[in-house]
Amino acid sequence: MVEMREPEDLLREATLRVTRPRIAVLEAVRNHPHADADTITGVVRAELGGVSKQAVYDVLAALTDARLLRRIEPSGSPARYEARVGDNHHHVVCRSCGGIEDVDCAVGAAPCLHASDDHGFTIDEAEVIYWGLCPACTAQKDLQLEDPTRSE
């Protein structure tokens, strides 16, 4: 299991000030991987009380810029955040319910994929999103195929 370092230590190492909102956002993202900003705002407000949505957005941006969080943007979905950074993993997204799960690197070391033409870029990350149906949605679809009158 990956060692979870203290948020205060991570912030100091990234040369960011240690503040209650930053700690709360880091912990919220750790406890709710792939959550969107609204969900994270709700979790942070439950912990700290009156914190503005803009403050949470600002903290998310600062932590993402510092590479303490990763922002992913599946098509048709709001941006999502996760604390699993630095390993260049990928994601699988359910087309029906929007659920997201991590998928380890496709092949080899980061960036996992090699561009046919890098156009002179120094590539350090590749993003792959697999799309499909999660097990629960697949089972629901199978039930509906068996009994078309069933709505749930």
Residue set of the binding site for Zn(2+): 94, 97, 134, 137
* Angle, CA 43 vertex, CA 25 and CA 129 arms, to 5°: 70
**Omega before residue 78 within 30° of 0, cis:** no
Residues contributing to the annotated binding site: 94, 97, 134, 137
Euclidean distance between CA atoms 7 and 26, whole angstroms: 7
A 10 A CB-CB count for 136 gives 12
Place of tokens 């199978």: 142
- CA-nearest of 85, 97, 96 to 14 is 85
